[in-house]
A and B are shown apart, each in its own frame.
Chain A
Amino acid sequence: MSDEQLVGIVLVSHSAEVAASVAQLAKGLAGGGAVVPVAPAGGTEGGGLGTNSELIAAAAASVDRGAGVAVLTDLGSAVLTVKALLAEGDELPERTRLVDAPFVEGAVAAVVTASTGADLAAVEAAATEAYTYRKV
Chain B
Amino acid sequence: MLKYIVRRLILLIPILFGLSIFIIVLVHALPGDPCSSILGEHTSPDRLAACRHGLGLDKPLYQQYFDYMAGVFRGDLGTSATNRVSVVTSFLTRFPATIELSLAAMVVAIGVGVPLGIAAAKRQGSVFDNFATVASLIGISIPIFFLGLLLAYVFGVWLHWLPTLGRVNLRIYDFSHAGTNFLLWESLVINHNIPEFIDVVSHLILPAIALGTIPLAVVARITRSAVLEVLNEDYVRTARAKGLTSGRIDRRHVLRNAMLPIATVIGLQTGLLLGGAVLTETIFSWGGVGSWLFQAAVDKDFVVIQSGTLILATIFVLVNLTVDISYAYLNPRIRYS
Do A and B form a real pair?
no
Interface residues of A (CB under 8 A from B): none
Interface residues of B (CB under 8 A from A): none
